Amino acid sequence: MTGCDPGHKLAGMTTAFVPNQWYVAAYTREIGRELFTRTVCGESILFWRTADGAVTAMSDRCVHRRFPLGEKPSHLVGDTVVCGYHGFTYGADGVCVAVPGQARVPRTARLRTYPVVEQDSFVWVFIGEPERAAATRIPRAPWLDMPGWTVVSGMEPLAARASLLVDNLLDLSHETYLHGGYIGTPEVAETPITTEVDEEAGIVHVSRRMADAACPPFYANSTGLTGRITRWQDIEFTPPCLYLLHSRIAPAGVLPNDDGTDPDAFHVEVVYAITPETASTTHDFWAVARDFALDDQDVSDYLAASNRTVVLQDVAALDVLEQVISGEPDGYQELSINIDTGGLAARRMIARMRG
């Protein structure tokens, strides 16, 4: 017995996740002086900001009779959380500081707390043994909180296991079919890809560089380019959670300068955080950062609405796929072809991290 509250875990779901990793739990803007809960890797977690502005994360179940602390009438009083059922009161460190009707607070009355870090507009939470948090890398998405970039972002709930979203994002040839008329054009599925696995860094790269492609509405309407384009899609996936798509759009034939500067191209950093909620549901965080039309609200509105539409097309497809797969006996059949090279590499890396 550690004497510490074990955290609230949904039954039977611990082995489905990569342990001892940082996961995106929320956007920083979502956490304030109101109690906020989100389930990450099957653990229901309560988030709130102290009066000093620091984010805290602790188990969302009162140790007394399990009332959810994120549920009204539970509430904050200064830097304490008061359980809405019988009034057990907890500090920012999760330790119970007051119980009703008696002066003695049981020593074991404390909530599991979680390491949290705010970085790149995200609140990251460490799921696993807390002493391993400091030495575990938090992958970066700096464009989400950087001068010179404008960002739109959101989060859609996905009723499918996280691995289906990993498969989806690592193989962008599906843009041609599932997202035709938005971000897909014939060239995406037709263009060579190079897949690289950097075992040391724990990163899967998939690169597709279209020299002369049609410009899909998503980029035509945001950049104003009307003709053929050079379109680069360089994926950088750091399992289990953070996916980056470095997207470069330029008039056909326009390449970066030899010194690395690239003044005539439009750069879009598409970021996904793939956070398992339960073994069969996922938080699908998406963000689109751009280095052009920085103050143009119409462009922001357009990119936000379009990307959300595209994400919802994926969500609809993956929700159906989850239903089908979960209804099939274990060990269902698949057939992989060349387009799956990156997805297979990501799966393998995740399986190894899961141990």
Partner 1 sequence: MLRVTWLPGDDRLRGRCHCGAQAEADEPVAMWEWLLAHPDHPAGGPVSLDPPAARPPAHLVRST
Q: Which residues bind partner 1 (CB under 8 A)?
A: 189-199, 327-329, 333, 336-338, 340-341, 344-345, 348
- Taking the complex as a whole, the smallest distance from the CB of residue 232 to partner 1 amounts, in Å, to 16
Residue 328 binding result from partner 1, Fe ion, none, given CB thresholds of 5 to 8 Å by partner type: partner 1
Which positions ≥6 away from 110 have C-beta within 8 Å?
Answer: 4, 5, 63, 90, 93, 94, 95, 96
Q: Nearer to partner 1 by C-beta: 91 or 184?
A: 184
- Taking the complex as a whole, the smallest distance from the CB of residue 168 to partner 1 amounts, in Å, to 16
Q: Nearer to partner 1 by C-beta: 136 or 323?
A: 323
- Specify the stretch interacting with Fe ion by CB under 5 A; choose among 31-39, 96-104, 237-245, 311-319: 311-319
Q: Which two tokens stand for residue 162?
A: 């996280």
- Taking the complex as a whole, the smallest distance from the CB of residue 277 to Fe ion amounts, in Å, to 19
Q: Nearer to partner 1 by C-beta: 147 or 327?
A: 327
- Taking the complex as a whole, the smallest distance from the CB of residue 306 to partner 1 amounts, in Å, to 27
Residue 331 binding result from Fe ion, partner 1, none, given CB thresholds of 5 to 8 Å by partner type: none
Which positions ≥6 away from 286 have C-beta within 8 Å?
Answer: 153, 154, 155, 156, 270, 271, 272, 307, 308, 311
Longest dimension (CA), the chain: 76
When CB distances to Fe ion are compared, the closest residue is: 314
- Taking the complex as a whole, the smallest distance from the CB of residue 175 to Fe ion amounts, in Å, to 6
Binders of Fe ion: how many residues, by CB under 5 A?
Answer: 1
CA distances from 233 to 84, 194, 268 (A): 50, 11, 10
- Taking the complex as a whole, the smallest distance from the CB of residue 207 to partner 1 amounts, in Å, to 10
Q: Nearer to partner 1 by C-beta: 159 or 344?
A: 344
Q: Which two tokens stand for residue 129?
A: 């043994």
Residue 314 binding result from partner 1, Fe ion, none, given CB thresholds of 5 to 8 Å by partner type: Fe ion
Q: Which two tokens stand for residue 97?
A: 């500081």
- Length of the chain as a residue count: 355
| Cα distance between the two ends of the chain | 25
- Region of residue 174 (phi > 0: left; psi between -120 and 50: alpha; otherwise: beta): alpha
Q: Nearer to partner 1 by C-beta: 209 or 308?
A: 209
Q: What is the DSSP string of 2-18?
A: -SS----B-TT-GGGS-
Residue 333 binding result from partner 1, Fe ion, none, given CB thresholds of 5 to 8 Å by partner type: partner 1
Going along the chain, which residue ranges are E strands?
21-27, 36-40, 43-49, 55-59, 75-77, 80-82, 89-91, 96-98, 116-119, 122-127, 150-158, 193-198, 203-213, 229-238, 242-251, 266-278, 281-290
d(CA 212, CA 214): 7
Q: Nearer to partner 1 by C-beta: 80 or 191?
A: 191
Residue 37 binding result from partner 1, Fe ion, none, given CB thresholds of 5 to 8 Å by partner type: none
Residue 136 binding result from Fe ion, partner 1, none, given CB thresholds of 5 to 8 Å by partner type: none
Helix 162-170 to helix 341-354 angle (10° resolution) is 140
- Taking the complex as a whole, the smallest distance from the CB of residue 314 to Fe ion amounts, in Å, to 4
Among 92, 314, 318, 349, binds Fe ion (CB under 5 A): 314
- Taking the complex as a whole, the smallest distance from the CB of residue 244 to Fe ion amounts, in Å, to 15
Q: What is the binding site for Fe ion (CB under 5 A)? A: 314
